[in-house]
Amino acid sequence: MDSENTIISHVRQSDMAIQSNDEHQQGVSELASKFAEVFGMAEWGRVLGLLHDKGKEKKAFQHHIIKESGLDPKIKVDGDYRHAYVGALIATELFPNLHLLIDNALIGHHRGLYDDGDMRELMKSTIPDEVTVDEINAYLEKPRVEKPKDIHHLERMLYSCLVDADFLDTEAFMQPEQSRLRGDHDSLATLEKRLEAFLAGLKKNAPDTEVNRIRNEVQNWCVKESVNPPDFYSLTVPTGGGKTLASVLWAIKHAVKNNLKRIIIAIPYTSIITQTASVLRNIFGKENVLEHHSNVDRSAFDDKELAQKMKLATENWDYPIIVTTNVQLFESLFSNKPSDCRKLHNIAKSVLILDEVQTLPTDFLQPIVDTFDTLKRVFGVSILFTTASQPVLSGLIQSTNPFVSFEGLSNIHEIIPEGANLHDRLRRVELKFEKNPKNYDEVAEELSHHSRVLCIVNTRNDAREIYTRLPKEGICLHLSRMMCPDHVLETIDKVKLALKESSNTTIRVVATQLIEAGVDIDFPMVFRQEAGLDSVLQAAGRCNREGKLGTGNTIVFGLQKPLPSGHIRQTNDARLAIMNREYDWFSPEAMEAYFKQLYSRVNSFDKKNIKDLLYKAEIQFETASSAFHLIDDNTVSVIVNWKNSMDLVEKLLEEGPFYSLMKALSQFSINVRNGDMKKLVEAGAIEEVLDGIYIIRDQSFYSNEVGLVTDNHWLEESLIV
């Protein structure tokens, strides 16, 4: 192609081939139109694609790309070669009454969506003389938006269609071999048959027990209810009732029946994700299940091409089944960054399963619940809430403060029929609440009277204090987030193996809440430090899980010290407020009363004022994105000396950071609080090997038993965190 007479969009370095701007814009237009068609806005997607790179017609940009690509390294570049804003200026001329919905997407398709004021400043520019303004034969139908809270999601969805189409078309030209790795998955109808065959095999070999009969009933109810149209649904099944497989069975049949595109499972804890994704890969095949979270490491996959396909799919979720975290899902839905937003259009016309929905943070409950409503009404998403302890999400959600309330969801359809009484039929645990608080020695003494016992506490310090007091006979293990992910998983595997192999071995485990939900372990005796009712019931779910003991025991105890302020104290106070009533603590009625008490104590359901930033004409995309973080992370990631981590660090120093290496290193990293980081720095333990990458080489700072220690190791005193 003659570069002198061509408006250049991209130059492929391997052979200096040129992609013209017309070719690129047409390719992006077709893809963006296809993506937006899923939610009824195909023409909007087409227009976005045709306009997004019109600014590349500027002489300054053409000189810039000719110089930077090496076509002519000596060419002089005069003037401003920015190009993204030009498409938005043209949109105002061509679509004077509708351009506001796409201006930000066009201006921010490389950099990210702007706050309204910053966008308006950029819109004060004029269309460069070199840029042609051609009519676009398009009928942009005004979207049917019912509520102010819908607009920011609609703009972000269109933005998602554009940026993903832009990336994909660019990749197809610049990296054709990589582009060919995308796609090629089985249909949901095919996966439905695989799941049915898997479940038939399970039932054929399963003993005829009450638990298995209940699991079969739950699955049958899910099949029956799956034929209904997209809406809000809940699946409230006590621990042991087979909730995970039943929810996927409902979702896949519901998707096939309603022609939905994919199934997205959002889970609060990485420990549950790893377990769930492993089960689903076994059923549906690795090539159909994408596991997307910060700790996943695909470098260990035998099939390197499949590992690369999965890496690419994390960019835009083009997989039939996605298992991800609440953090990844919700922070993407409120992000302004192209890398986060690429995947969003693939949420439209999907089934979204929210597992352990009781863990949704009350500080962000209003924007999250509002988002559920928009996803269902505007983007055709069907949403299933699953838990053993369903929170109150419908009707008026309010605090005792009359100014702190909002309207929840309407018509959440429970799949389990009224009167099924599953909490009673699946009862395997007696719950006891102790009145008198104990000190660490007394807790350790009581635990030592049991040969198989799990103790769950609220803080890392409490776990350490109790663990260090236990007799180290048999198997005695500690679990907290001061152990790196690889160490945590190894320890959980040790617990599972020990419980399975011998009934005579003493097994005592002290853990923080990381073991509380979704980790498939079964102890005859569980102790739980006082907490919210939902956490207490999650702990009870680790007790007599398979129902082989008749009745197990879970004891809730207090420590002779105040609970930490914030969420832990707030949830425990809500539980204490209903303790004087005659409840079956496993019943839905008790859980409803508990959540109403919890909500009455909430100072704000929108702590960062997301509503004020996004539910108005002057949308503040960038500010809201910075504010919306489910976890306040005042920590620094540090790589510890565990197994072969230091070998990987040497590789990092030799080759620099790259994706698979950093994912592997994340398995040996710990998020250290600022106070502990200061102690480690003062002790000379911290080394910054690259900009922002910290390591601890000294093995004395990492214990095989409890993980990271902050320690002046010249003294004989150590603090385990």
- Chain segment 411-422, per-residue pLDDT in tens: 899 999 988 888
pLDDT of amino acid 273: 83
Q: Quick one: which of 221, 215, 206, 209 has its CA closest to 241?
A: 215
Chain centre distance of CA 62: 41
Helix (H, G, I), strand (E, B) or coil at 213: helix
pLDDT at 1 over 70: no
The pLDDT tens digits for 111-141 are 999 999 999 999 999 999 999 998 898 889 8
- Token readout for 200 is 């038939």
How far does Cα 585 stand from its chain's mean position?
30
**Phi/psi at 278 (nearest 5 deg)?**
-65, -45
Contacts by 575-579, CB closer than 8 A, 24 or more apart:
575/530, 575/531, 575/532, 575/533, 575/536, 578/533, 579/433
pLDDT at 614: 98
Whether residue 443 sits in one domain with residue 538: yes
Residue 558 in any domain: the answer is yes
Mean pLDDT, residues 31-36: 97
Is the same domain home to 69 and 45? yes
Count CB atoms within 10 A of the CB of residue 272.
20
Residue where a domain stops, chosen among 121, 156, 179: 179
How far, in Å, are 147, 506, 651, 690 from residue 646 at the CA level? Answer: 54, 34, 9, 14
Q: Does residue 165 contact residue 49 with C-beta atoms inside 8 Å?
A: yes
Q: Specify whether 97 is located in the same domain as 197.
A: no
Q: What are the backbone angles phi and psi of residue 414, rounded to the nearest 5°?
A: -80, 130
Asked if residue 300 has pLDDT above 50, the reply is: no
Lowest mean pLDDT across 360-374, 397-411, 532-546, 674-688: 397-411
457 and 540 fall within a common domain: yes
Flag whether 528 is in a domain. Answer: yes
Q: Verify that 89 and 30 share a domain, yes or no.
A: yes
pLDDT greater than 90 at residue 456: yes
Whether 80 and 104 share a structural domain? yes
Looking at 118, 150, 179, the residue that finishes a domain is 179
Residue 700 located in a structural domain: yes
Residues in the chain: 721
Question: Same domain for 402 and 475?
Answer: no
Answer yes or no: is 618 within a domain.
no
The per-residue DSSP string of 465-480 comes to HHHHHS---SEEEEE-
Mean pLDDT, residues 625-630 taken together: 94
Task: Judge whether 612 lies within some domain.
Answer: no
Output the six-digit token pair for 328. 């990844």
Q: Are 362 and 493 in a shared domain?
A: no
pLDDT 10s digits, 314-339 = 778 989 999 999 999 999 999 999 99
Same-domain check for residues 553 and 643: no
Q: Which residues contact 53 (CB under 8 A, 6 or more apart)?
A: 9, 21, 24, 25, 28, 83, 87
Q: Is the pLDDT of residue 461 over 60?
A: yes
3-state secondary structure 327-382: HHHHHHHCCCCHHHHCCHHHHCCCEEEEECHHHCCHHHHHHHHHHHHHHHHHHCCE
pTM comes to 0.89
Tens of pLDDT, residues 141-164: 888 788 999 999 999 999 999 999
How confident is residue 437, by pLDDT bands cut at 50, 70 and 90?
very high
The answer to the question of residue 229 being in a domain is yes
CA 705 to chain centre: 29
Of the pLDDT bands very low, low, confident and very high (cuts 50, 70, 90), residue 3 is low
Question: pLDDT-based confidence at 680, cuts 50/70/90?
Answer: very high
pLDDT of 715 over the 50 cut: no
Please state, in angstroms and rounded to a whole number, the distance separating the CA atoms of residues 595 and 389: 10
* Res 718 pLDDT > 50: no
Residues near 381 by Cβ (< 8 Å), separated by ≥ 6? 230, 347, 348, 349, 350, 351, 352, 375
- For 576, counting Cβ atoms within 10 Å of its Cβ (0-12 exposed, 13-18 middle, 19+ buried), the class is middle
**pLDDT, mean over the chain:** 90
3-state secondary structure at position 433: strand
Q: Is residue 617 part of a domain?
A: no
Return the CATH number at 113. 1.10.3210
Token digits of residue 189:
């109808």
The rounded distance, in Å, linking the Cα atoms of 266 and 332 is 12
Of residues 514 and 165, more confidently modeled: 165
pLDDT at residue 721 tops 80 = no
For residue 450, the enclosing domain spans: 428-585
Of 179, 202, 217, the last residue of a domain is 179
Q: How confident is the model at residue 274 (pLDDT cuts 50, 70, 90)?
A: confident
Determine the angle formed by the axes of helices 304-316 and 148-174, rounding to 10 degrees. 140
CB 7 within 8 A of CB 66: no
pLDDT at 294 over 70: no
Contacts of 361 (CB under 8 A, 6+ apart): 368, 630
| The pLDDT of residue 52 is above 60 | yes
pLDDT at 517: 64
Distance (Å, rounded) from C-alpha 251 to C-alpha 260? 10
Q: What is the mean pLDDT of residues 361-383?
A: 96
pLDDT greater than 90 at residue 43:
yes
pLDDT band for position 183 (50/70/90)?
Answer: confident
Strand, helix or coil at 266? strand
Q: Which of 127, 120, 156, 135 is nearest to 50 (CA)?
A: 135
Asked whether residue 593 is domain-assigned, the answer is no
Q: What is the pLDDT of residue 369?
A: 96
**pLDDT of 714 higher than 50:** no
Which pLDDT score is estimated for 295? 54
CATH number at residue 247: 3.40.50.300
Return the axis-axis angle of helices 270-284 and 243-258, rounded to nearest 10°.
Answer: 60
- Distance from C-alpha of 329 to C-alpha of 580, rounded to nearest angstrom: 39
| Mean of pLDDT values over 67-85 | 92
CA distance linking residue 143 with residue 42, whole number of Å: 11
Q: How far is CA 393 from CA 222, 239, 646, 671, in A?
A: 21, 21, 47, 32
169 with 199, same domain?
no
Does the pLDDT at position 513 exceed 80? yes
Least-confidence region, from 195-209, 505-519, 598-612, 670-684: 505-519
If one counts the domains in the chain, the total is 4
User: Interior CA angle at 557 toward 551 and 560, to 5°?
Assistant: 165
Instruction: Say yes or no to pLDDT of 500 above 90.
Output: no
Q: Using alpha carbons only, what angle is made at residue 52 by residues 46 and 56, rounded to the nearest 5 degrees?
A: 135
> Per-residue pLDDT averaged across 177-197, rounded?
90
Domain identity same for 341 and 291: yes
The predicted structure's pLDDT at residue 2: 52
Asked if residue 238 and residue 174 are part of one domain, the reply reads no
Q: What is the CA radius of gyration of the chain?
A: 28
